[in-house]
A and B are shown apart, each in its own frame.
Chain A
Amino acid sequence: MNLEIILHAGLATGTILLFAAIGEIFAERAGILNLGVEGMMLLGAMAGFSTSLATNNAWLGLVTAVLAGGVLSLAHGLVTIHFQADQVVSGLSLTFLGTGLALVFGEGLTGQTPPLIPSFDIPGLAAIPFIGPVFFENHSLLVYVGYLFTPLAWYYINRTRPGMHLRAVGEKPSAADTMGINVYRLRYFYVFVGGCLAGLAGATISLAVSPGWYSDQTTSGQGWIAVGLVIFAQWDPLKAALGGYLFGALRRGILDLQGPALLLGMTNPLYINSNFSFFLKMTPYILTILALVLGSRAAMKKRLGAPAALGVPYIRGERGL
C-alpha cells in the first residue's frame, strides 16, 4: 500500500480509459452513439500486438491498431448514418464483430513477446519530489501523450471553429446543415476519430500498459467502462481523463488491499482468505455503476445532458432535430 505506486499505476491504466472515452466523446458530440468501443479496442489491441510481432516494430503496430479501430467504426458509421439503423443495436453488433474478428485473427498470439512502446523518465521533471515519481517516471510514451492530448481535445471541442461545427452537428444537425456544414461527412469523420482512439486504447493495453494478448480478457470490459465514463464525465474530455485516472488508481488501490496482513490494526480478511478477492474484482464494475448514478443525478439537477441529437439519425429534408 504505497500511494506513489497506486497513483503511478492509476495514471497508466487510466490512459487506456482516457483514449477510449475521449474517442467516444468525439463520436457522441457529433450525435452518434457508438457502443462498439469494447470491440474496436479488442481489435486494436490484437492488430497492434500482431503487427508489432510480425514487423518487429512497435510503431507500425500502433498505427495498425489505430487504423483497425477506425476502419471497424466505419461499419457502424455506414449502418447508422446512411441506413439509419438503431445506434444501440448497431453498436452492440460492432462489439460482437470486433471481438469475433480479434479472436479469429488473434489465434495463437498468446504468450508471444513483440517489441513494445518504450517507457522512459521525463528528464528534470522526474526529479520533483512525489510529483516526479508519480507523473514523470517510467511511464509509457502513450501516458505522456495522454497528458497532452486531453487539454488539446478539450480546446478543440470548446474553443475552435471545427469544434463548434462538431457540437452543432450533435446538437441541432438541421441548423448545422442550413449553415452549410456537411452533417453526414462530419458524422462519419468523428465516428472514425472515435474508432481510431478506441484502437489506440487497445494498443495502449497490448503494447504498453499491460502488454500481451489474452484473447477477450485483454480488454475485460474496459471499453464498456469507458462508455460509462463518458456519461459520468458529462461529455467533457477533462473530466473523462480525470475520471479515468481516478478509476485506475482506485482499482489498483483496492487490489493492493490484499497485500498486508494487518489493515488498520485489524487482521486483513483478504489476507487470510484469498477467495474474497472475487469481491475485490467486482469493484471496478460496481464503481462504474456508482459513477453513473452520481453522474445521472448531477445531470438531472443541472439539466445538463447528452448532446440533443445523440442517437437520432439525421435525414436531410425531413422534419426532426
Chain B
Amino acid sequence: MNLPFTIKFEKRVEDIPKWLPAATSIGSVLIAFIVSGIILKIIGGQPLLVLKFFYEATFGSWATFSDTIVKATPLILVGLACAVAFKMKLWNIGAEGQFYIGAFAASLVVLIPMVSPDSPKIVVIGLMMLMGMLGGAIWGFFPGYLKARFQVNEIITTLMLNYVAVLWNNFWIFDKWSDGGFQMTPTFEKNAWLARVTDYAREYSAFIDEGGGLAKFLTSIGLDRISGMTLHVGVAFGIVAAVFMWWIFDRSRWGYEIKLIGDNPKAARYAGLNITRNIVLVMMVSGALAGLAGMSEITGVVHRLQERISPGYGFTGIIVAWLAKLNPFAVIIVAILFGALIVAGRELQPSGLASMLQGIILFMVISSDVLLRYKVKLVRTQTAVEAA
C-alpha cells in the first residue's frame, strides 16, 4: 500500500520547547486512560461508570480528597526517593523495602521502647522520624555499597531486599510484638501519632455553634464534615522534602555532581568526582526518604506496625518519579494523581485494574519521550506529489 505521505523522525537540534515535556506527560496519562478504558470494555466492564466512580471516590468532596492526599503522602516521599537515585542513573527499585524497614525502625522507638512511654510527643515523633530515615538509609546502603565496590547490579539487589524487608518485618510482627496473635502490634500511644485534622476538629468543635455563622460558612464550602478527615501532618514532610530536594538538585554543588555523574560518568571521573562515595550516599538519601514515608504511614495512618502497610507505594514511586521527569514539585502533583488511583483502586473491580493502568501510563510516558528527542513530520511522498 502506498500512503500519500510518510512519517519522518527528525532529530531535534534546537532546545526543547518548555511546555513540551509537561504536555507529553499529560497526553500520555490521557491516552493511558483511554487505552485502559478500551481494555475494560473488552472484558465487559463499563469504563465511563468506572471513571465517574473514580472521580467521586477521589476528588468528589473534601472528605474524599483528604483520603487522596493521605494516599499521596507516602507517594510524594517515595517518588522523591526514586527521583534522587534516578538523577544519578542509579536504579533504586527497592523503595518498597526501604519503606518497610523505615516503618520497622521507627516502631522500635515505641515497641522496645527507646524512650519512656510518657515522653512528650515532639520527642517521640522526632526520634521516630530519625529512626525511620536511618532504617531506610541502612537498607539503601547495602545495595549502594555492593554497586560501588563490586559493580553488583543494583536493580536486582534492591529488588531482592524488598522481599527480605517484608519477611523481616513479618518475623517481628508475628513473633515478638503480635497483638494477641494477630498480624499486627498493639496500637501505639497517642504521643506517637502524627497530628490529624480529625483530632483537631474534635478538639475545637466546641467553638463551632450548631447552626451558627461559622458552621454555615463551613457547610457552604463543603467543609462541614471536617471531623472525618484523616489528613495528617505527614504531607508536610513530603512538601518540605520536595523543597529540600529541589534545592539540592537545582542550587547545590552536590546536586550538580549527581547530575554530572548520571549524565556522563566519564567526564565526572576526569573531573575528579568521587563516584564510589556518591553512589553509596545517593542510595542512602534515597533510602532515607523512603524510610520516612514508612514512618509517616505508621504514625499517621495505621498507628501500629502491621503486615501489608504498603499497597506497593515503593513501586508506584518509580512511576511517579518518571512521570514527573524527576522534578520534585512535579512529583507532588503526580503523587496526588496516583494517590487517587490507589484510593479508587481499593474498590475498583477487577483488583488488578489500578496496577494495569499504572503500567500503561508508564509505557505511554516513556514512548512519548521520543517526541522530546525527535520532531515527527509528515512528508508528502513522491507519488503523491506527482499525482497532485
Residues B199-217 near A (CB distance < 8 A): none
Residue in B43, B146, B175 whose CB lies within 8 Å of A105: B43
A228 CB contacts on chain B under 8 angstroms: 153, 156, 160
A278 CB contacts on chain B under 8 angstroms: 167-168, 170-171, 174-175
A83-B174 in contact (CB<8A): no
Residue in B156, B357, B359, B363 whose CB lies within 8 Å of A292: B156
Residues A118-170 near B (CB distance < 8 A): none
Residues A185-217 near B (CB distance < 8 A): 215
Closest CB of chain A to B162's CB: distance in Å?
A: 8
B150 at the interface (CB under 8 A from A): yes
Bound Cα distance from A278 to B319, whole angstroms: 30
B369 at the interface (CB under 8 A from A): yes
Residues B128-169 near A (CB distance < 8 A): 146, 150-153, 155-157, 159-161, 163-164, 167-168
Question: Which of B161, B175, B351, B363 has the largest count of A CB atoms less than 10 A from its CB?
Answer: B363
A89 at the interface (CB under 8 A from B): yes
User: How many residues does chain A have at the interface if contact means C-beta atoms less than 8 Å apart?
Assistant: 52
Contact stretch, chosen from A9-17, A56-64, A90-98, A260-268: A90-98
Asked, given contacts A275-B175, A285-B160, whether A103 binds B153 with beta carbons under 8 Å apart, the answer is no
A78 CB contacts on chain B under 8 angstroms: 367
A86-B366 in contact (CB<8A): yes
Residue of B nearest to A88 (CB): B91
Question: Which of B39, B160, B362, B370 has the largest count of A CB atoms less than 10 A from its CB?
Answer: B160
A92 CB contacts on chain B under 8 angstroms: 93, 318, 362
Bound Cα distance from A224 to B163, whole angstroms: 11
B362-A89 in contact (CB<8A): yes
Asked, given contacts A92-B93, A292-B156, whether A285 binds B164 with beta carbons under 8 Å apart, the answer is yes
A286 at the interface (CB under 8 A from B): yes
A285 CB contacts on chain B under 8 angstroms: 160-161, 163-164
Bound Cα distance from A78 to B369, whole angstroms: 13
Please give the residue numbers on chain A whose beta carbons come within 8 Å of chain B beta carbons, in ascending order. Answer: 35, 39, 75, 78-79, 83-86, 88-90, 92-107, 215, 221, 224-225, 227-228, 231, 273, 275-276, 278-279, 281-282, 285-286, 288-289, 292-293, 296-297, 299-300
Bound Cα distance from A81 to B370, whole angstroms: 11
B360 at the interface (CB under 8 A from A): yes
Residue in B160, B349, B351 whose CB lies within 8 Å of A224: B160
B362-A93 in contact (CB<8A): yes
Asked, given contacts A285-B164, A292-B153, whether A99 binds B352 with beta carbons under 8 Å apart, the answer is yes
Bound Cα distance from A227 to B7, whole angstroms: 36
A106 CB contacts on chain B under 8 angstroms: 352
Asked, given contacts A93-B359, A228-B153, whether A101 binds B160 with beta carbons under 8 Å apart, the answer is no
Bound Cα distance from A123 to B126, whole angstroms: 69
Closest CB of chain B to A303's CB: distance in Å?
A: 12
B153-A101 in contact (CB<8A): no
A105 CB contacts on chain B under 8 angstroms: 43
Closest CB of chain A to B175's CB: distance in Å?
A: 4
Bound Cα distance from A36 to B34, whole angstroms: 23
